[in-house]
Amino acid sequence: MEIINKNLIKHQSYIDGEWLEMLDGSTTSIYNPANQEKIGDVSSCGIKEINKAIEAACIAQKKWAKVPSKEKSEALNRLYLLMLENQEDLAKIITYEQGKPLLESRGEILYGAAYIQWFAEEAKRIYGDIIPGHMSDRRTVVIKQPIGVVGCITPWNFPSAMLARKMGPALASGCAMVCKPAPQTPYSALALAYLSKEAGLPKGLFNVIISDAEIFGSAILKSSAVRKLTFTGSTATGKKLLKASADTVKRVSLELGGHAPFIVFDDADLESAIDGAIAAKYRNSGQTCVCANRIYVQSKIYEKFCEGFIEKVKLIKTGNGLDDDTDQGPLIDENALIKTKKHVSNATELGGLIALGGKTHKLGGLFFEPTIIKNSNDKMLVANEETFGPVAPIFAFETEREVIQRANNSPYGLASYFYTRDLAKSWRVSEELEYGMVGLNTGIISSEMAPFGGIKESGMGREGSKYGMDDYLEIKYISIAGVDD
């Protein structure tokens, strides 16, 4: 990888403040999805090393919990500043291993860093309560304490920000972490480990393990020393992990799949709705859990919306994310390509009309054309499963009641979007949508200042905002007797 600060490129797991030398020599090769060139080999570790990391995290966490919150805050702020200083290199690492355009990778670094900064501040605001005594001699004091050691599993679609989003609240609250990045994208996590060391975070507090997913998952879930699991990834894996967490009754935060409806009412600002749909659909080649999966357009404006949408999507330039003029990179791997093709062919078999794209891009490899499917219907795979590719199915609807019913007819409940200029409808629909997040007249909703998260099978817990710290804290009360004289 051609970057300036070569120290950011690490190939080994980071355990107890050290880069682990490989014991048995087993390595995994990592490839750039844009051209299948090998970008490096990372050495993976086994159960012994994972347990070593858990032990180190236990020791570090006990000490870290006692560090004054102002000092914790300063350490996290140093990490924040280091991320900004290294923004360009960190962004390139994302693009090399994940494929997204550099512009998006730069944004991802700023986005992840913002969570570190936000929780650096929040570290100083972990307030308790004083509750009036229930007897005349009693006072009740509530304090909040870190949960302890946190196991953390992250996905490949935002390899840096999904980890930073968890590091912020975990470390600010006084927890320690044992983390595993996705197998496709280890380098972004290892770069954050390097910066955590540079920022002066104590050894053992933040560990990054390259390992087989199941070995890691079972070691973390079996360990009674690990008190919490935080996971971002597919609903299928999240369900497995949730079940396995029961044996040690861990606290669990899950940020799982989504199937976002994107509703355009006929009183919407059409240009703005088209721009919002493009941002929500094609960012990261459609590989985000909040991306618009079902675009519902009211029948009166259906054709007009489609025309404008097609014209603008035509302008998206597909290519290697490292090229300055690229708007859309490749898909992550062969499985993603196969799934995207399957969704498109299933849609055409069930009556969908390909209005744009629909096949592998002429660049070949893992590139897929930005695709639009008109006349989509609720029986199609695209209407029910996450595509995780650049495919926009457009559905027509007649009434508000009908579209809300169709939008909510999903096991998922992560993001949703709608466009209208009617104030009463804005409130009504916002309240009716069974989703953890609603974008009203916008296709981009994430911010470190807001509580990101889903309901139903999209997960539990929230990341960001004043609520985000609660996921990493236990509540304790102290009942004080004998206050009477």
Catalytic positions, written as ranges: 255, 289
Return d(Cα 408, Cα 434) in angstroms, integer: 6
Q: Which residues pair with 141 in a beta bridge?
A: 130, 478
Contact 414, 459 (CB under 8 A): yes
Which residues lie below 8 Å from residue 398, measured CB to CB, with a gap of 6+?
298, 299
DSSP symbol at 391: E
Classify 407 as helix, strand or coil: helix
Angle ∠(443,446,447) on CA atoms, nearest 5: 135
**Least distance from ligand ADP to the Cβ atom of residue 188, Å:** 12
Contact 323, 330 (CB under 8 A): no
Q: Which is nearer to ligand ADP, 221 or 356 (CB)?
A: 221
Looking up tokens 């078999």, which residue turns up?
Answer: 349
**Least distance from ligand ADP to the Cβ atom of residue 400, Å:** 34
Q: Which is nearer to ligand ADP, 15 or 82 (CB)?
A: 15
Q: Which residues bind ligand ADP (CB under 6 A)?
A: 153-155, 180, 182-183, 213-214, 216-217, 233-234, 237, 240
Return d(Cα 57, Cα 61) in angstroms, integer: 6
Which residues lie below 8 Å from residue 297, measured CB to CB, with a gap of 6+?
264, 305, 306, 394, 395, 396, 397
Q: Which is nearer to ligand ADP, 50 or 201 (CB)?
A: 50
**Least distance from ligand ADP to the Cβ atom of residue 181, Å:** 6
Contact 108, 284 (CB under 8 A): no
When computed from its CA atoms, the radius of gyration of the chain, rounded to whole angstroms, is 23
**Least distance from ligand ADP to the Cβ atom of residue 184, Å:** 7
**Least distance from ligand ADP to the Cβ atom of residue 93, Å:** 17
